[in-house]
Structure 1
Amino acid sequence: MTQARFIVDGMHCGSCTGTVERTLLAQPGVSEASANLMAHSAQVSFTAPATPAALAKALADAGYPVSAAHLRLDVTGMSCASCVSHVEDALLATPGVLDATVNLATGSADVHYAQGSVAPSELVKAVEATGYGASVASADAPPPPLAERQAEEAHRLRRNVVLSVALTLPVFVLAMGGHMVPAFHHWMMHSLGERTVWGIEFVLTALVLAFPGRMFLTIGIPALLRGKPEMNSLVALGALAAFLYSTVVTLAPGLLPEADREVYFEAAAVIVTLILVGRWLEARAKGRAGEAISRLVALRPATARVRRGETAVELPVAELAPGDVVELAPGERIAVDGVVIEGEGHVDESMLTGEPLPAAKAPGAAITGGTVNGAAALAFRVTATGGDTVLARIIGLVEEAQGQKLPVQALVDKVTRIFVPTVMALSVLTFGLWLLAGQGFTPALIAAISVMIIACPCAMGLATPVSILVGTGRAAELGLLFRRGDALQRLAEVRTIAFDKTGTLTEGRPELVTLIPVPGATEAEALALAAGAEARSEHPLARAIVRAAEAKGIAPLPARRVRAEAGRGLHAEVGGAPVVLGNARAMEEAGIDISALRAAAEAEAREGRTPVYLARSGALVALMAIADPVKPGAAETVKAIRALGAEVAMISGDTQTTAEAVARGLGIGKVIAGVLPEGKVEAVAALKSAGAVAFVGDGINDAPALAAADVGLAIGSGTDVAIEAAEVVLMGADPEGAVRALRISRAVMRNIRENLFWAFAYNAALIPVAMGVLRPFGGPGLSPMLAAGAMAFSSVFVVSNALRLRRVK
């Protein structure tokens, strides 16, 4: 199964996305197709005989050409015609490539590919896989990102709006000025005459339709002729009907009864102008909706200072390579990922993790491109560049999530698929009913035009994707990466959030928390003995004892003849004396009396800590208690989740006593302990009986549970396996990210419901008004100009409402 992603800029409303999906699904070999209006993209899964080029042609034939990009590659190593065919075959086999031509004489390859489906670096790798060298020719640049295309679209629409307003304003003044100022009407009729006024309106309106309004005609009319009308078809029909009728009145009035000789040039011009204004405002708003990605992209500096021998040279970031040593000045933004090799300081990582406090960095610490160095000068070795950096992967994940469809979108798709044909049928019905009611041809035509213009499938098509776009972008700024857009909806519906204990609610690194020496012994003596015995052990409890001694500046005593006993502890000779370090069973087997500290050990165990006895020469020396400290903010996280109406559970592989002790301290009532990795899957399944379950974890052993939950949330400091198994990544190590994710998912879903309510309610309420159902009861109707204004406002309202998500805290 091959997957490809096409950028389809010709989609303008919900019915367009339905047409694109049906066109793709109709092609042999296509199994899945999903179009996204907000991202102007189409995702398709296919096998032979389908090819990217064939799919692109099918979309172009349907009136929705894919946005294609051109790239030139410099290819080395070719020596004959077979080399050319090998390279061409490799490129054409790459998903998303539409055409590839290789020139042996120039050593180059011209590639045309579907924008958004494949990256230039992937094309280079495809050529290199055949044994030839390849690089992107510097003359060509990669295609602009979505944010830039939206900015260009807004700029183009602004030019059309300015031109359309300039042409429409005289038409509106000539047509409506006389109604508002009778003296102006008398002056026009006396000085210009009615026929001249109509002639001027005809010319200006024709210019409006021919230039700024041409987009509606060139897209809408062909779609109508193909039997697949969409939003532009409605606008084109409405404006053309008003224009053509008025043209007949102006140029051939004898064809119509005298009572019907009225012109509506101003309606045609104003319809186009108002809808262009709406499209422009919508494009501007959509540009702001995608600002989160633009801000992430802007985090990448253009240059960096790279060491070359004893000096440092300024190089473009694109030329950095793994292994380069980069010097960082105080306050400088970090260019790419790396590892600190010189200096100590702090780095502000808030723009990636959402964590407000700067992170401490010392030699050996990893740093991330896009973050900001603090007050210290640092040097780091580059570990990843280009698309391999954390920032690039984050941008990719966010863009992928923004192109996803939520389950709630299925209903919208069903409605928009039949919406435009239904509106056209209602328009014809309105015309017929008005004629039958004896209202006359002209009023019937105006009512029919109003029905076509008032309908707004754009609002329905934008309701869901624009909220996803803004919501996932805002989530990224808060350190939350939704790897799948539908996780937004499922997370908002969860009733229980289950946490793994170790590494998620706790630090995942045991620490010595209590040391009780017997009378006559000291803490320093006990630590020196214990650290000496454990110095060579990699066991987590042993490392906790060694770290405690190092923190107090206590040197471990020399040890030899160290012998570990699984499940008990160890025996060693430390400082020339036999030492036993372990649990109660180890002490009993060694014949050591622990009664003096048994009560204290039992108390520590009840608190979820691990008691460890220390004895020397057969006599008890001290009791140590080791525990995995709870992360700061874990208790507040549990409290906040409960305040949001969700239950909290904890799943752990620890003993029931230890797990329950931690849960008590955090305020968690439901504990499932003593489970193996596969047992966590069963525990998640059991919790699902009370509703949807989200699981938060960080380790390799959490991956099955993350995948089994309705929504998996991986702590970003965890392993790659856990992150790959989760739908949501919490970039920080703080479990509070789960609260932020829950809040923003609910905010996005609430916003989507508001948008959908508006979109459906708007059309359900105003289409009947445009048809004139209120007229028999003395109520108002709608003129085409008012209908155009209302329709334009509808889309702008939906996008503006979604923009409120940028302020989610």
Structure 2
Amino acid sequence: MLLFTIVIVFINRIYFINGIKALLQKSPNMDTLIMIGSGASLIYGIWVVIAISHGVTNNVIGINEKYMNSIYFESAAMILTLITLGKYLEELSKGRAASAIGKLIKLKPLTANLLVDEEEESVLIVDVKINDKIVIKKGDKVPLDSVVIDGEALIDESSVTGESLLVYKSNDSKILQGTIVADGYLVARVIKLSKDSTLEKIIELVESVNMTKAPIQKLADKISSFFVPIVIFLSIATFITWIIISKDFSFALEMSISVLVISCPCALGLATPVAIMVGSGKGAEIGVLFKSATALEELGGVDVVALDKTGTLTENKPVLEFVFPLEEENEIVSIMNSLEAKANHPLAFAVGEKAYSMKLKKQEVIEFKNITGFGLSGKINGNNYLLGSRKLLLDNNVIDQGELYEKAKVAEENGYKVLYLAKDLFLIGIAFIKDKIKETSKEAIMNLKSLGLDVIMLTGDNEVVANQVKLELGIDQIFSNVLPIDKGNYITNYQSLGKKVCMVGDGVNDALALAKADVSVSLKTGTDIAIESSDVILSTSNINDLYYGILLSRKTKKNIKENLFWAFFYNVIGIPIAMGVFYSLLGLKLNPMLAALAMSFSSLFVLFNALRLKLFRKEIYEKRN
């Protein structure tokens, strides 16, 4: 038995090495408790063997009967064996908890189809360079972040961005490493190497969260630093008490060792980090990337959600919705597009997209002029055209033939931008253009409000446009004509009222507000400065993912509290039993082996409880809503 125990002690010597180091550094930890508990059992067992040998040699009567049940080699061996088994099971559970990172890594393809002199060649992705041309076929994973230069396809981005619907890609579209071509054929130009890809950044973010500590974890660490010395004191006190009461050295030693072993603060140490690990991994799966453990913990505690308008609630892509022509509509749109094609501003894109959908060709424009701030002019087929603002037409005394000015006024009051087209100083058509609200924005606002949050909008747009968005989406309060510096001031004002504020934005003008908010959120489609200023990144442009992120944050924090409760409850119950508080009354006590088993069980309970976060699904809440 002694030889067997020495072998086990040698295999598990790391506990003794770390325990002694921690003791010498005056910061005893879990390994210190294991070292003292198993070490005391081993040393006392050796002493008993020597005592028995001495007694037998010297014919001491009753020596065997006295010590036959006091050889604690099996206790030392079983303490180390059970704790090591518990550690092994912990590592298996941690592996399951960290599986999100593994899944992301597996998304990375190993090879790419390189296009060289119109011939395809399969190469390792590490051999692909920026600007190389690659071919991606149906069923293939996109090997590297690229821009499409030929072909069209439907892409499954769910594994990387969380977008559940297939996304159409054609010329100039960006495609991301790890996404899958569900249908179609693409030739693309590589724009990022694997180490700089969007997928790699997501992996780095998830890993970095696991390296940071949540505020609640710092409290647990502080408690642990006091807990271990207190346990050592209680163990000594238990030994002294039972020596006095029972006059039995081996019984007192057994009780004190049980106190040391059952009190190992494994569960307390695991309570927060394992929940953070699972929560951040689940966030990556659903398209919500937390940059730190603090962000994951605090997002669920915000009171106010402040939203930027352009690009956050809207598509940031003007759409031509209505045309009121006094001549044939196709001709009106064709002329508008022919003029706008020579300009470079967002409204030109809206007109161009409308003309493309109507399959209209551009017409030749001569004597083109860009009248800065007002509009355009040019001659088409011998006719002089003006295209632009109401002021441009009024300044040129354009005649309204069909009360189009009145229609335009109503449209402007409803948040539309209006393009006026005049032919030879007669108004012949108007077009209503709007930055289209995202399809998911209304649902997102409704969901956020259902969580009891105040939802506000901060926008640089005029009051008419802002009010229109407010009415359409049901936002609680809006602030219009807001300058970038004022956005930060509004955040500060709410904070001065004791509110925790979450700011959501995607532009350079949101950077200050994002920096001042308690929790800042940006969209992956946003500018670099917005992403750098934020604590949380939404992988898609779907603002509704913020709702799921807040739910996940709340569930993670609840899970941490459950784990901490169990860790404390376990010790509150276990330590008194191990000390023998109930022994005299109920005969209830723990031997060191059962204490080691109970300690391992408490750690596994915490791990399995944290793994319940993996059951979080968007679909569950979509059905409820």
State TM-score, norm by structure 1: 0.71
Aligned residue for 1:463?
Answer: 271
> Number of residues paired by the alignment?
606
Given candidates 250, 257, 275, the residue that maps to 1:442 is 250
Q: Deviations over 1:494-535 (max 9, x none)?
A: 1111111111111101111111234xx232232233223323
1:240-639 correspondence to structure 2 within 5 Å: 240-253=39-52, 260-261=66-67, 262-263=69-70, 264-438=72-246, 440-518=248-326, 521-594=327-400, 596-639=403-446
Q: Deviations over 1:380-438 (max 9, x none)?
A: 22222231222222211221121111111221121111222221111001111222334
Q: Deviations over 1:602-650 (max 9, x none)?
A: 3322322123333323332223211011111111111111112212111
Aligned residue for 1:718?
Answer: 526
Aligned partner of residue 726 in structure 1, secondary structure: coil
Given candidates 3, 13, 23, the residue that maps to 1:224 is 23
Aligned residue for 1:706?
Answer: 514
Residue identity in the other structure for 2:417: T
Given candidates 746, 759, 766, the residue that maps to 2:554 is 746
Shift of 1:772: 1.9
Structure 2 contact 130–190 (Cα < 8 Å) conserved: yes
Shift of 1:303: 2.2
Aligned partner of residue 333 in structure 1, secondary structure: coil
Shift of 1:362: 1.6
Aligned residue for 1:187?
Answer: none
Residue identity in the other structure for 1:478: I
Structure 1 contact 475–481 (Cα < 8 Å) conserved: yes
- 1:225–1:502: structure 2 CA closer, same or farther, 3 Å change rule? closer
Structure 1 contact 648–668 (Cα < 8 Å) conserved: yes
- 1:524–1:311: structure 2 CA closer, same or farther, 3 Å change rule? closer
**Greater CA drift, 730-739 or 261-270:** 261-270
| Structure 2 residue runs without a partner (length 5+) | 618-625
- 1:309–1:777: structure 2 CA closer, same or farther, 3 Å change rule? same
- 1:522–1:642: structure 2 CA closer, same or farther, 3 Å change rule? same
Shift of 1:565: 4.2
Query: Is 1:205 the counterpart of 2:12 in the alignment?
Result: no
Aligned partner of residue 91 in structure 2, secondary structure: helix
Q: Deviations over 1:229-263 (max 9, x none)?
A: 32122112212222332332233236799575232
Query: Is 1:671 the counterpart of 2:478 in the alignment?
Result: yes
Residue identity in the other structure for 2:17: T
Aligned partner of residue 165 in structure 2, secondary structure: coil
Structure 2 contact 34–264 (Cα < 8 Å) conserved: no
Q: Deviations over 1:24-62 (max 9, x none)?
A: xxxxxxxxxxxxxxxxxxxxxxxxxxxxxxxxxxxxxxx
Q: Equivalent pairs: percent with the same residue?
A: 37
Aligned partner of residue 374 in structure 1, secondary structure: strand
Q: Which has the higher contact order (CA 8 A, sep 6+)?
A: 2
- 1:328–1:569: structure 2 CA closer, same or farther, 3 Å change rule? closer
For residues 350 and 498 of structure 2, what CA distance do their matches in structure 1 show?
A: 39
Residue identity in the other structure for 2:355: A
Aligned residue for 2:621?
Answer: none
Structure 1 contact 713–730 (Cα < 8 Å) conserved: yes
Q: Deviations over 1:651-674 (max 9, x none)?
A: 111111101101211111211111
Shift of 1:676: 1.8
Residue identity in the other structure for 2:389: N
Aligned partner of residue 339 in structure 2, secondary structure: helix
Q: Deviations over 1:532-581 (max 9, x none)?
A: 33231112223322322232123344434444445543444443333333
Aligned partner of residue 379 in structure 1, secondary structure: strand
- 1:333–1:612: structure 2 CA closer, same or farther, 3 Å change rule? closer
Q: Deviations over 1:76-116 (max 9, x none)?
A: xxxxxxxxxxxxxxxxxxxxxxxxxxxxxxxxxxxxxxxxx
1:138-177 correspondence to structure 2 within 5 Å: none
Query: Is 1:808 the counterpart of 2:610 in the alignment?
Result: no
For residues 590 and 342 of structure 1, what CA distance do their matches in structure 2 show?
A: 45
Shift of 1:732: 0.9
Query: Is 1:771 the counterpart of 2:571 in the alignment?
Result: no
Shift of 1:715: 0.7
- 1:313–1:566: structure 2 CA closer, same or farther, 3 Å change rule? closer
Aligned residue for 2:535?
Answer: 727
For residues 389 and 120 of structure 2, what CA distance do their matches in structure 1 show?
A: 57
Q: Deviations over 1:7-40 (max 9, x none)?
A: xxxxxxxxxxxxxxxxxxxxxxxxxxxxxxxxxx
Residue identity in the other structure for 1:704: L
For residues 150 and 355 of structure 2, what CA distance do their matches in structure 1 show?
A: 27
- 1:738–1:515: structure 2 CA closer, same or farther, 3 Å change rule? same
For residues 234 and 143 of structure 2, what CA distance do their matches in structure 1 show?
A: 58
Residue identity in the other structure for 2:116: R
- 1:406–1:507: structure 2 CA closer, same or farther, 3 Å change rule? same
- 1:248–1:548: structure 2 CA closer, same or farther, 3 Å change rule? same
Residue identity in the other structure for 1:551: S
For residues 602 and 684 of structure 1, what CA distance do their matches in structure 2 show?
A: 34
Q: Deviations over 1:474-499 (max 9, x none)?
A: 11122222122211122111111111
Residue identity in the other structure for 1:322: I
Residue identity in the other structure for 1:660: N
Structure 1 contact 537–543 (Cα < 8 Å) conserved: no
Shift of 1:690: 5.5
Shift of 1:351: 1.0
- 1:334–1:525: structure 2 CA closer, same or farther, 3 Å change rule? closer
- 1:783–1:289: structure 2 CA closer, same or farther, 3 Å change rule? same
Aligned residue for 1:649?
Answer: 456
CA RMSD of aligned residues (A): 2.2
Residue identity in the other structure for 2:234: L
Q: Deviations over 1:439-479 (max 9, x none)?
A: 53222111101100001212111111111111111111222
For residues 498 and 419 of structure 2, what CA distance do their matches in structure 1 show?
A: 40
- 1:328–1:526: structure 2 CA closer, same or farther, 3 Å change rule? closer
Aligned partner of residue 370 in structure 1, secondary structure: coil
Aligned partner of residue 315 in structure 2, secondary structure: coil
